[in-house]
Amino acid sequence: MTRETGGILSFVTAEQWGLIEAKMQPKRVKSGYSLFLEGDEAGYLYYIRSGRVKLTKSTEDGKEIILSIQQTGDLIGEFGGIGGLTHSYSAEMTGKGELGIVSLSDLESLLSKHGDLALKFLQWMALSQRITQSRFRDLLLYGKAGALASTLIRASNSYGRVTPDGIVLDMKLNHTELSEMIGATRESVTRMLGAWKEQGTLDTMDGKLMIRDLAALRCMCGCPTFPSCPVELCRL
């Protein structure tokens, strides 16, 4: 069930991607490496060749919210602004990995010369915006429980492995990280997860969360059925 769709490679052809990749500089990085900080000047896009990247945003009172956890195949960074473009969030590696870094000036030059590539790039940007909007929708319309249920469903699409007993999330998410994803306290997340385990909706396997009743989670967040909500949209 692990998905690799929805990334930039789902939109461009091998030939089109080759044009972008030829402009990239490879970089191996360690866990905790900061790609950029919120407010930094934006001059590059970062393609994840391996590893995972956590995108976060700080609130006025100093709290940190996890916007997304990006994976292999995702392209990260600000693009398309007018004037002095700055990053509206921070990006940090959650483990070691490899990046491909391309400057905005090189990318803009490519897009100006290749209209077909520019169109595909715009389509990818539109999907990225829809993913963000759908996550905010779940939080605003269905409260903390609905937002947590939605986050687990998205995690199952991004990192889920189907077993006879349920869908195991092959990415460990602790209670603090889950609370930062939905803007709740760690204690409230712990209570909700505990209640759902008692109800048989969730379980654990080798220290990882396992979803036993996906339908129950879908009911909590008004999850539409496929194809109205394609898997490439329902992701972390």
Domains and CATH numbers, the chain: 8-113 (2.60.120.10), 134-233 (1.10.10.10)
What is the average per-residue pLDDT within 158-178? 91
Strand partners, 205: 208
- pLDDT over threshold 90, residue 135: no
Dist CA 152 CA 119 (whole Å):
32
Q: How confident is the model at residue 168 (pLDDT cuts 50, 70, 90)?
A: very high
What is the average per-residue pLDDT within 147-176? 92
- Classify 32 in phi/psi space as left (phi over 0), alpha (psi -120 to 50) or beta: left
- pLDDT over threshold 80, residue 232: no
Dist CA 176 CA 42 (whole Å):
29
Please list, residue by residue across 176-194, b when 16 or more beta carbons sit within 10 angstroms of its beta carbon and e when fewer do.
ebbbbbbebeeeebeebbe
More confident residue, 1 or 28: 28
Task: Kindly report which listed range (132-136, 153-157, 167-171) carries the lowest average pLDDT score.
Answer: 132-136
